[in-house]
Chains A and B, each alone.
Chain A
Amino acid sequence: EAAVTQSPRNKVAVTGGKVTLSCNQTNNHNNMYWYRQDTGHGLRLIHYSYGAGSTEKGDIPDGYKASRPSQENFSLILELATPSQTSVYFCASGVTGTSYEQYFGPGTRLTVL
């Protein structure tokens, strides 16, 4: 079974503060993704990476940065957090080929006050 972990699981931040969400996968997958989940909007892609050292913008990258220092780790960074970034964030990893399945982490609930 694929393993993706996220930390922290819950986070309360203040407006204007810096927030870093971390993701680790032990699947040796090349691709990793960050999504946010909001009621009525489904899962929206923020940033993704197809290998160590690479990051690409997803559909809603504004206000977020990403970092992929290694195959296993992929971070999402909010330099200046805003209340509109209050959400549940999911990290996922996946492989290309015939499967293309993505394996999701447990999620991080972020509240920005």
Chain B
Amino acid sequence: GDSVTQTEGLVTLTEGLPVMLNCTYQTIYSNPFLFWYVQHLNESPRLLLKSFTDNKRTEHQGFHATLHKSSSSFHLQKSSAQLSDSALYYCALRDNTNTGKLTFGDGTVLTVKP
């Protein structure tokens, strides 16, 4: 079945440094739909950005990601981390049926320090 791998469980950065959170996926389907969700402390997950277009950069709220089918990757990046970026980030892969089911990675906790 589908799977999503986020290699870093915890990332700690100093404010102002670039952010890169890794996400790779496995699926038998040729048209994957990938998402990044963000969950701040004591809140629920919410959509950050999404993509189903190969090699096209998608951006939202200062973050960006590019789906690369050749490497099955959808890494999340930001040029300069802010304290408010501290949160739990999930990469997710949509099921190829009409159910809209998502397979989530284990998540990466990003902590940004002053």
B101–A45 touching, CB < 8 Å: yes
A42–B104 touching, CB < 8 Å: yes
Residue in A43, A90, A94 whose beta carbon sits within 8 Å of that of B100 in the complex: A94
Give the 9 A-B CB pairs with smallest separation, nearest first. A104-B44, A42-B106, A43-B104, A42-B104, A42-B107, A94-B100, A100-B100, A31-B100, A96-B98
Number of interface residues of A (CB under 8 A): 25
Give CA–CA (A87, B46) in the complex, Å.
19
Given A100-B33, A100-B94, check contact A43 B45 (CB 8 Å).
Answer: yes
Known contacts A40-B9, A100-B50, A104-B46; 19 additional CB pairs below 8 A are: A41-B106, A42-B106, A43-B45, A43-B102, A43-B107, A44-B104, A45-B101, A50-B99, A58-B101, A90-B44, A90-B45, A95-B100, A96-B100, A100-B100, A102-B47, A102-B100, A104-B45, A105-B44, A106-B43
